[in-house]
């Protein structure tokens, strides 16, 4: 249990450094450290599928972020917004944090799966009959591709649409056509 506390403390310190530093490259490197810490945490929480996915997505995300920030000249922007706005935001965030602590007391303790305390626990059917009905030894794969395949279809659609949006925004040709026609 102490390993969870150590890793979460490492992640929180990395997040505080990423938020407060003024150099953009340091902030991006701290985000990389947060991602690796999260992947180690997933491995200790007995979720190897998620750990593999988190590491490779983290590496590609770092490549995208560094591509955007390393070649720009203006990477130092100093100062926050005006003082009154900052104080009000911090007070509201603190109030939400206290309210969230009170709500989180009602969850079951750490160590018992929270979804099995619901009125109709679905996970017990997935674990006990998953191999028999779908034939897949990896229960997570049987959940995302057989029991809940609609969610995978929605996720493929969202990925498709966001990549199309990014490609359309970064297009070079249409601007030249506009300049030629004017």
User: 3-state DSSP call for residue 36?
Assistant: helix
Q: Output the smallest distance, CB 176 to another protein, in A.
A: 9
Applying the rule CB under 8 A, the residues between 60 and 119 that interact with another protein are: 60-61, 63-65, 67-69, 71-72, 74, 77, 79-81, 85-86, 89-90, 93, 96-97, 100-101, 104, 107, 110-116
Query: Judged by CB under 8 A, does residue 29 bind another protein?
Result: no
Query: Judged by CB under 8 A, does residue 3 bind another protein?
Result: no
Q: Output the smallest distance, CB 79 to another protein, in A.
A: 7
Applying the rule CB under 8 A, the residues between 32 and 51 that interact with another protein are: 34-35, 38, 41-42, 45-51
- Cα dihedral sign, 10-27-15-113: negative
Choice between 123 and 180, CB closer to another protein? 123
For residue 173, give Cα distances in angstroms to 58, 98, 162, 166, 181.
31, 51, 20, 15, 13
Query: Judged by CB under 8 A, does residue 146 bind another protein?
Result: yes
Query: Judged by CB under 8 A, does residue 15 bind another protein?
Result: yes
Of 84, 119, 120, 169, the one binding another protein (CB under 8 A) is 169
As a whole number of angstroms, the distance between CA 56 and CA 64 comes to 13
- Please name the residues in contact with 131: beta carbons below 8 A apart, sequence gap of 6 or more: 137, 139, 142
Q: Which residue has the tokens 């920030």?
A: 69
As a whole number of angstroms, the distance between CA 111 and CA 9 comes to 19
Query: Judged by CB under 8 A, does residue 177 bind another protein?
Result: no
Nearest to 63 by CA among 39, 38, 31, 15: 31
- Cα dihedral sign, 162-163-164-165: positive
Of 167, 178, 180, 181, the one binding another protein (CB under 8 A) is 167
Query: Judged by CB under 8 A, does residue 127 bind another protein?
Result: yes
Q: Output the smallest distance, CB 33 to another protein, in A.
A: 11
């Amino acid at each position: 249990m102490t390993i969870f506390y150590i890793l979460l403390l490492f992640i929180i310190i990395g997040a505080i450094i990423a938020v407060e530093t003024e150099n953009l490259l340091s902030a991006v490197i701290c985000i990389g450290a947060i991602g690796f810490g999260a992947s180690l945490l997933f491995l200790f929480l007995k979720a190897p599928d998620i750990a593999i996915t988190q590491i490779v997505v983290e590496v590609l995300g770092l490549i995208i972020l560094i591509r955007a920030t390393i070649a720009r000249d203006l990477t130092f922007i100093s100062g926050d917004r005006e003082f009154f706005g900052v104080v009000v935001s911090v007070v509201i965030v603190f109030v939400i944090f206290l309210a969230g602590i009170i709500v989180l007391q009602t969850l079951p303790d750490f160590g018992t799966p929270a979804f099995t305390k619901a009125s109709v626990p679905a996970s017990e059917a997935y674990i006990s009959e998953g191999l028999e009905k779908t034939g897949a030894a990896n229960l997570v794969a049987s959940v995302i591709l057989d029991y809940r395949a609609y969610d995978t279809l929605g996720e493929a659609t969202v990925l498709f649409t966001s990549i199309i949006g990014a490609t359309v925004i970064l297009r070079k040709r249409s601007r030249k056509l506009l300049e030629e026609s004017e």
